[in-house]
A and B are shown apart, each in its own frame.
Chain A
Amino acid sequence: MGSQYGLKFAVHLVTNHFGKIVAKVCETLFRKGPLSLGEIIRCTELTPEQVKNSLLVLVQHNCVQAYVPADQFRDEEESTVTVEYLALFDNVIHRLRFPKFLEIAKRQLDDECEKVLDGLLRDGRLTLKQMVERAVQGKENPGAIEAVVRGSFHKLLKAHYVERCPAPEPVVSTLIKAEPAPRKRGSKMAKKFEAPETIEQRVMEAALPGEAIRFAVIEYTGGNADREANSDDTIMVNVGDNSGGIANEGSILWRANFEEFIRHLRHKLLIENERKRLDDGAATILSAILDATKNVEKKVKIEKSVPLSLDSIFTEVTKNEYGRTMTIDRVRASLVQLGCPQRNLDDSYSIDLKNIVEMARNEEVESIVLKRFGGDAYRIFRLLSKSNCFLETDKIAELAIVDKKEAPRLLYKLWKDNYLHMEKLVVTAAKQSRFMLWKVNKPVLWEYVLDEMYHAALNLSLRLAFEQEKDEDLLHVSRDKLTPTDKSGEVNSVQKRYLRLRDVLFLMGSSLMKLDDALMLFHDF
């Protein structure tokens, strides 16, 4: 679930896309957690019809998942099944980055795939039949267009950018199992602490189709052109009476697989960061490793890359033009630079991806510190961040070469704005001495910075809307009057306003997309 401003920003996005009534239902689910239909009606004070329609819209657009809590079945007398609705924070925020997903489909596949994906993103979920109908509407030569749509759909499916929609109302146990206590303190049997699964994770896991059918396509028994469009690698499911229901292209719903797009964006960040930090060679090797193993990654936020032998890595690297110039020794040296100095026990290599993400997060936060607090504070912050331990005030001033009078003031400012953690130490010897100890607590700081970023994203969106409203009248001015035509280059006041508005919208739009990269860095990667 999101932070305070994360939720506000998510509600803002829902309001912009679906209106205030739908946003009210979504906000209620965010604030109160999963609720039944009756509970939502009571909390929102909307009419049952309004709530039902809102839920239908939110489910259609994958912002809400319905499920049936299993614990209600313990009472055998209970005859009615209560469905609860869970708002999906991540999926709401993903709506901000639809243009990025479309760009990925366009670059990696082609324009036609982008169009098919666009339909899925706009409409939330579609059957293959609906995708075809959407494309051929009002067009000549529907047969050819249909073939293109099917071909594009298969490409998207093969790349895992499209998936089957989840089960509509899976049964989910909502009880959190108590972990058995370890037998002895320090016992080798003691488990590493893992946070219990959230209700959202349980519901999504239960709803998600099994891997075998998640990207499975139905065999189309139409013309030859369509058979050719089907990839040999796509898993085929036989249509037949033993399926327990007729699974055909008119009833299976498909949607964009956000997880795969986020994985792609994560890989892109990892590769580009290492390119900037090291060189093209290291980026090529990392790219080869991630490409080779993306289909076997169990989840997006893997900490280490899937282990590969040096031979496998080298084979992948040489598929690339730049990679063909590298020797095995060069590859080995780059693996050291990438933070993988030695092989695992089974002679495989694994890159610490979590470390690359952490370095990127550090850079983002340090950039804020530099701009907000200045150069000396930046140096102090980086010292504490790298030390990853408590340091005393005078020691900080000495190591960072900052005036000893200035250092306490800067440290206090950073602490007051939640960028540093502080503790007081009192030492009683010949006389009592007080020391102030300072530290960067990264997990806490990153959550705080993420919330600030959601706040900033909300502010950007609101200001963008405000600027558009201010110059709303320009929408009614004909286009030829908006652009300067005079050879002298002079512009009148309307044209000035238009040019300003154009520049403002471009600046804020691109800033929001850049800020969204940072949101993914701190939340999704």
Chain B
Amino acid sequence: MRKPVGSSKDMIDAERIVFNLIHSKQNMGIWVADIKRETTLPESMIKKSIKNLQTRGEIKEVVNIKNKSRKHYMAASFEPADEVTGGNWYSEGKLDKEYIYELRQACLRYISRSSVASRNGISEFIIKGGCFPGATTAEVDQILENLVLDDEIIEEKSTGYGDYENFPVGRVCYRCKSKGEVGAMASIPCGVCPRINLCSPDDFISPKNCELYQKWLNF
């Protein structure tokens, strides 16, 4: 039998049930709809409980990176997990592109100035430099891995010779990579064309009437 809504004892019970459920989800938190499904409390009672708990500072609303439009709640004593926030690179549910860009540029500048730089050297420069308070070694490592993926730098092990003579053999080092030539296929219109599968000599889209070719040959 459903409990009547509105009595203060009911509210206290509801708040306790809602709080216990939210608390049990620890740093993952819980979506409002899931609270409703798991507690079977009326929606209005859930809403009021959440409002009261928030006012008292016992729970907080967090942005869930996987679904920013959903209201997601967590006990105030927990820090949201990376799966909820998106990790270090997210701020209020958005990828902090500016921070990432600045950190990348700082790493690139250091490597470029040094010609060859070790992983430890770069981390020390960034963390102790003061421009990025709170930056961690793990974050710097991830930025370096991303710069390798972007082909901006090369990761190599020191041979102890030439540019690497200041680094012990086997030490992980990075150096800037000069921009290579654009590949043969990427240099021509067909290489960038999203319709190449529809193109045929005698078809509606053909090399003779291709707009990309027209632009390319329009000196």
Report 12 cross-chain contacts, Cβ distance below 8 Å, ordered by A residue.
Answer: A330-B161, A337-B159, A368-B185, A379-B146, A383-B149, A399-B145, A401-B89, A404-B86, A449-B185, A453-B185, A503-B219, A518-B184
User: Would you call A462 and B208 a contact (CB within 8 A)?
Assistant: yes
**Which A residues lie within 8 Å of B191 (CB)?**
367-368, 371-372, 456
Complex interface bits, B182-219 against A, C-beta within 8 A gives 1, otherwise 0: 11111110111110100101000011101001000101
For the complex, count residues of B whose C-beta is within 8 A of A: 43
User: Would you call A276 and B207 a contact (CB within 8 A)?
Assistant: no
A463 touches which of B82, B150, B180, B210 (Cβ 8 Å): B210
A466 touches which of B83, B199, B208 (Cβ 8 Å): B208
Q: Is A378 an interface position by the 8 A CB rule?
A: yes
**Which B residues lie within 8 Å of A467 (CB)?**
217
| Interface 9-residue window, one of A38-46, A178-186, A241-249, A509-517 | A509-517
User: Would you call B149 and A404 a contact (CB within 8 A)?
Assistant: no
Of residues 25 through 61 on chain B, the ones whose CB sits less than 8 Å from some CB of chain A are none
Q: Is B151 an interface position by the 8 A CB rule?
A: yes
**Which A residues lie within 8 Å of B6 (CB)?**
none
**Which B residues lie within 8 Å of A491 (CB)?**
none
Complex interface bits, B68-87 against A, C-beta within 8 A gives 1, otherwise 0: 00000000000000110011
User: Given that A333-B161, A401-B142, A452-B196 are known contacts, is A515 also in contact with B207, CB under 8 Å in the complex?
Assistant: no
Q: How far is the CB of B100 from chain A (nearest CB, A)?
A: 6
Question: Beyond the given A372-B194, A404-B86, could you list 5 further A-B residue pairs with CB under 8 A, ordered by the A residue number?
Answer: A333-B159, A364-B185, A403-B94, A452-B190, A463-B208
Interface of A is mostly: helix
**Which B residues lie within 8 Å of A514 (CB)?**
184, 187
User: Given that A337-B159, A371-B192, A383-B149 are known contacts, is A455 also in contact with B199, CB under 8 Å in the complex?
Assistant: yes
Residue positions of B touching A, CB distance < 8 A? 65-66, 82-83, 86-87, 89, 94-95, 100, 142, 145-146, 149-151, 159-162, 180, 182-188, 190-194, 196, 199, 201, 206-208, 210, 213, 217, 219
Q: Is A199 an interface position by the 8 A CB rule?
A: no
User: Given that A333-B161, A463-B208 are known contacts, is A363 also in contact with B146, CB under 8 Å in the complex?
Assistant: no
**Which A residues lie within 8 Å of B65 (CB)?**
404
User: Would you call A404 and B183 a contact (CB within 8 A)?
Assistant: no
User: Would you call A507 and B217 a contact (CB within 8 A)?
Assistant: yes
Q: In whole angstroms, how far apart are the Cα atoms of A48 and B180 in the complex?
A: 54
**Which A residues lie within 8 Å of B184 (CB)?**
364, 453, 511, 514-515, 517-518
Complex interface bits, A32-57 against B, C-beta within 8 A gives 1, otherwise 0: 00000000000000000000000000
**Which A residues lie within 8 Å of B87 (CB)?**
398
Highest count of chain A CB atoms <10 Å: which of B142, B150, B162? B150
Residue positions of A touching B, CB distance < 8 A? 276, 279, 330, 333, 336-337, 363-368, 370-372, 375, 378-379, 382-383, 386, 394, 398-404, 417, 449, 452-453, 455-456, 458-460, 462-463, 466-467, 500, 503-504, 507-508, 511, 514-515, 517-518
Q: In whole angstroms, how far apart are the Cα atoms of A455 and B210 in the complex?
A: 14
**Which B residues lie within 8 Å of A372 (CB)?**
186, 191-194
User: Would you call A367 and B89 a contact (CB within 8 A)?
Assistant: no
Q: In whole angstroms, how far apart are the Cα atoms of A242 and B182 in the complex?
A: 60
Q: In whole angstroms, how far apart are the Cα atoms of A522 and B82 in the complex?
A: 42
**Which B residues lie within 8 Å of A333 (CB)?**
159-161
Q: In whole angstroms, how far apart are the Cα atoms of A402 and B90 in the complex?
A: 10
A400 touches which of B149, B180, B183, B199 (Cβ 8 Å): B149
B150 touches which of A375, A453, A508, A511 (Cβ 8 Å): A375
**Which A residues lie within 8 Å of B201 (CB)?**
458, 462
A367 touches which of B145, B162, B186 (Cβ 8 Å): B186
Q: In whole angstroms, how far apart are the Cα atoms of A242 and B111 in the complex?
A: 73
User: Would you call A336 and B183 a contact (CB within 8 A)?
Assistant: no
User: Would you call A518 and B188 a contact (CB within 8 A)?
Assistant: no
Q: In whole angstroms, how far apart are the Cα atoms of A375 and B151 in the complex?
A: 11
Q: How far is the CB of B107 from chain A (nearest CB, A)?
A: 13
Q: In whole angstroms, how far apart are the Cα atoms of A266 and B217 in the complex?
A: 31
Which 8 residue pairs of A and B lie closest in terms of their CB atoms, listed nearest first?
A367-B183, A456-B190, A459-B207, A518-B184, A367-B186, A371-B186, A463-B207, A514-B184
